[in-house]
Amino acid sequence: MVRKSGSKKTKRQMAPKFWQIKRKGFPFVLSATPGPYAKDRCYPMGILLRDILHLCSNLREAKIIMNSGQIKVDGIVRRDIHFGVGIMDIIEIVTTGEVYRLIPRDLKILVPVKTKENGVKLVKITNKVTIKGNKTQYSFHDGKTLISEDRQMRVGDVCLVKLPNNQIENHIKFEAGCTVLVIQGENAGRIGKIEEIKNGMFSLPKRTVVNFDDRSVELPIDIVMPIGIDSPLLEVFNQ
């Protein structure tokens, strides 16, 4: 049998800062295997089940839960405790019917989802290429891709898609005046409006000025995500 590449564990002290885990204890924790997200931008499913949702007390129990097909991510059953889940992903517990969306919100990362929103997801366009047949292939932040004849969408825009077939229901342009969510950094979880988009330079990335209720902050565009125009498209942001 071929051995999978990459380490399956990491030092607890070296785990990403946004992981809500105890920093003292056993020296090692799970590491996410290669998948839709970079290791420093996702949670392994085993960590979510044990340390965030508290559905089990150890990884042996987490494996039993995963292997029995009780966990769905974006509508697809996942059985690997190392599988990485990231921003906007939907985690469903089949046996209880509970559904959560992974977003930084009020010191939490998993927010309960109402029934009518558990089948839709916001995805950010990270790449756009023209392919054979004069069609356009869009790549999203969660590793998924979509081939479309619509060439109007741009990198940085966000689509509201229906799961699990990624059918586009709505489109949010990344432009001044739209409502955005900060997904990383010290302002993670805050919602504001874009005042200005500044072009990048040799020493600085493209960035945007986001207005919160109390102040305005200049942030790289990589860590902000449009979630609506005048108000967020999903009710989870208004809870």
Is the pLDDT confidence value at 10 over 90? no
pLDDT tens digits, one per residue of 57-114: 998 999 999 999 999 999 899 999 999 999 999 999 999 989 999 988 776 788 888 7
Q: CB-based burial of residue 185 (10 Å sphere; 0-12 exposed, 13-18 middle, 19+ buried)?
A: middle
What is the predicted pLDDT for the residue at 5? 55
Share of the chain above pLDDT 70, in %: 94
CA-based nearest residue to 121, from 144, 153, 98:
144
Q: What number is the average pLDDT over the span 215-219?
A: 90
What is the arithmetic mean of pLDDT over 148-172?
A: 89
**202 pLDDT more than 80:** no
What's the chain look like in SS3? CCCCCCCCEEEHHHCCCCCCCCCCCCCEEECCCCCCCCHHHCEEHHHHHHHHCCCCCCHHHHHHHHHCCCEEECCEECCCCCCEECCCCEEEECCCCEEEEEEEECCEEEEECCHHHCCEEEEEEEEEEEECCCEEEEEECCCCEEEECCCCCCCCCEEEEECCCCEEEEEECCCCCCEEEECCCCCCCCEEEEEEEECCCCCCCCEEEEECCCCEEEEEHHHEEEEECCCECCHHHHC
In angstroms, the Cα distances linking 146 to 77, 83, 205, 237 are 21, 22, 27, 26
Report the pLDDT averaged over residues 192-203: 87
pLDDT at 77: 94
- Block residue for tokens 């902000």: 224
